[in-house]
Amino acid sequence: MGSRTYDRASKRQLLVESAAEVFSNQGFTSTRVADIAQHAGVAKGTVYEYFASKEELFFAVFEWINEQIRRRVDRVLKDDGDPRSQLITLLQTSAKIVTEHRELFSMNLDFWAASRGSTFEDRLTTACRCLYQEYRHLAAEVIRRGQREGTFRPQIDADRVATLIVSALDGLGVQCWFDASIEAVPAVDAFAEALCRGLCQEDG
């Protein structure tokens, strides 16, 4: 029983990772379930044993990628560094993620277009809203910790600054997709320095 459960979980993960690669190479609209099955080395019918549709498989990819990102962000936030260092590391980690997942932006755009007017549009909107809320909360908590410890200025509105931080990083991903000459890590390093100068106490 345990072996069958493990095998099923492994095969599902294989399909998710294969779909991520095919979607990123071909786009959501142009990808057929048969393409994903071929890439995974399974029969087309096997895909439907795990996922009801191509859209369901896309959401599995979406969740898988974001779970990987969450784990990396959690590792940063569990470090015992001071809030300023923690915020800088969080921004730098985000820049690396933008660089590594540059090609996935087109897949997301493609899916947005394909899901317009469907039930999947509401589902994707809800998923993205929750994701943005989560990252805004994480960034705001780092700022609030800095305020409690006297590193960051107390009059700063942590939630609003966190909203702009997430917006900046999201916008950076868009620019990097349109313009391959943009280097995300150096750009974020400069942004982090300017941001921390604004957040820190005069004598911090």
Euclidean distance between CA atoms 87 and 139, whole angstroms: 7
- Write out pLDDT tens, residues 170-195: 899 888 888 989 999 999 999 999 99
Highest mean pLDDT among 21-30, 128-137, 194-203: 128-137
Please check whether residue 186 lies inside any domain of the structure. Answer: yes
Please check whether residue 32 lies inside any domain of the structure. Answer: no
Please check whether residue 195 lies inside any domain of the structure. Answer: yes
Q: Which residue has the higher pLDDT, 113 or 4?
A: 113
Supply the pLDDT for residue 145.
Answer: 94
Task: For the chain, give the mean pLDDT.
Answer: 87
Supply the pLDDT for residue 203.
Answer: 55
Q: Which residue has the higher pLDDT, 7 or 64?
A: 64
Instruction: Identify the CATH number of the domain in which residue 187 sits.
Output: 1.10.357.10
Structural domains of the chain, count: 1
Q: Which residue has the higher pLDDT, 134 or 100?
A: 134
Would you place residue 116 in the very low, low, confident or very high pLDDT band (cuts 50, 70, 90)? confident
The residue among 204, 197, 198, 196 whose CA lies nearest residue 87 is 196
Would you place residue 4 in the very low, low, confident or very high pLDDT band (cuts 50, 70, 90)? very low
Please check whether residue 1 lies inside any domain of the structure. Answer: no
pLDDT over 50 at 6, yes or no: no
Percentage of the residues of the chain whose pLDDT score is greater than 90: 53
Please check whether residue 10 lies inside any domain of the structure. Answer: no
Q: Model-level pTM?
A: 0.82
Domain range for 72: 53-199
Please check whether residue 5 lies inside any domain of the structure. Answer: no
- Write out pLDDT tens, residues 44-73: 999 999 999 998 998 899 888 888 888 888
Please check whether residue 103 lies inside any domain of the structure. Answer: yes
Please check whether residue 204 lies inside any domain of the structure. Answer: no
The residue among 20, 47, 21, 13 whose CA lies nearest residue 33 is 47
The answer to whether residues 189 and 89 touch, using CB atoms and an 8 Å cutoff, is no
pLDDT over 80 at 157, yes or no: yes
Supply the pLDDT for residue 196.
Answer: 93
CA–CA distance from 136 to each of 26, 125, 153, 173 (Å)? 31, 16, 19, 16
Would you place residue 153 in the very low, low, confident or very high pLDDT band (cuts 50, 70, 90)? very high
Structure tokens at 183: 């280097």
